[in-house]
Amino acid sequence: MAGPITVAIERRVDPEMRRYALSWVRQGIDLATTYAGFLGSGWVQVEPGSRTWHMLYRFDTAANLHAWESSDERRLWVDAGADFAREANIERRTGIEGWFGSASGEAIDGDRVEVRAAEPVPPRWKQAVVVWLGFFPVNVVVTVLLGLVPGYGDLQLVLRLLVTSLLLTPVMVAYVLPTVTAMFRPWLVRGLE
């Protein structure tokens, strides 16, 4: 299941260079708007005079995000700010963790950004239990149904597994995992809040 990707970057900015940093941020936003799939960007300081700035940008697909992040223009822009704005942390949720929490911020129009505390991510063992609870019954049903298809049992094991995984993956991602994570959410986040 593909969808928009928001990247949150925490930067340490020299307070004495604030005016220059503001111009630099706007230049980066203007540059990113020229890339396909750009959905928005913004920044926010933790408090007035703070060295910690949170910057966000959002692209519609991983390919478009990669095009921006690997571009020479972005590299030159980041290098131009290296003397006064250093990356302290980059948050990007990938893989299965995307089902278990939300990003720490949301890009809105222009330079405005809504920043929320990131939801805690459950321990991997809890994630594995929830994935298994969704996968096992669906796998059993699909295996039984495919066994009713004439000739399916005669296929080589690798081909049967290929067919099963091709059928199960979109069903799991689009329907089963979002449903089971919602059902088990109280258990997943217990002790994390």
Per-residue pLDDT tens for 95-112? 444 445 444 444 334 444
Q: What is the C-alpha to C-alpha distance for residues 138 and 168, in angstroms, rounded to an integer? A: 8
pLDDT at 106: 40
pLDDT at 116: 45
Structural domain 5-115, CATH architecture: 2-Layer Sandwich (3.30)
For 153, counting Cβ atoms within 10 Å of its Cβ (0-12 exposed, 13-18 middle, 19+ buried), the class is: exposed
The number of angstroms, rounded, from the C-alpha of 89 to the middle of its chain's C-alpha atoms is 15
Range with lowest mean pLDDT among 4-8, 20-24, 106-110, 158-162: 106-110
Distances (CA, A) of 91 to 5, 57, 105, 108: 11, 11, 10, 18
Q: Give the strand pairing for 5-13 and 85-91.
A: antiparallel
Q: Count of alpha carbons within 13 Å of 178, Cβ hemisphere only?
A: 8
Per-residue pLDDT tens for 52-107? 888 888 888 888 989 999 999 999 999 998 888 888 777 765 444 444 544 444 43
The number of angstroms, rounded, from the C-alpha of 193 to the middle of its chain's C-alpha atoms is 21
Quote the pTM value.
0.49
Q: What percent of the chain has pLDDT over 90?
A: 28
The domain limits of the chain are: 5-115, 124-189
The better pLDDT of the pair 185, 110 is held by 185
What's the whole-number mean pLDDT along residues 5-17? 85
The number of angstroms, rounded, from the C-alpha of 40 to the middle of its chain's C-alpha atoms is 15
For 65, counting Cβ atoms within 10 Å of its Cβ (0-12 exposed, 13-18 middle, 19+ buried), the class is: buried
Per-residue pLDDT tens for 103-151? 444 433 444 444 444 456 788 899 899 999 999 999 999 999 999 999 9
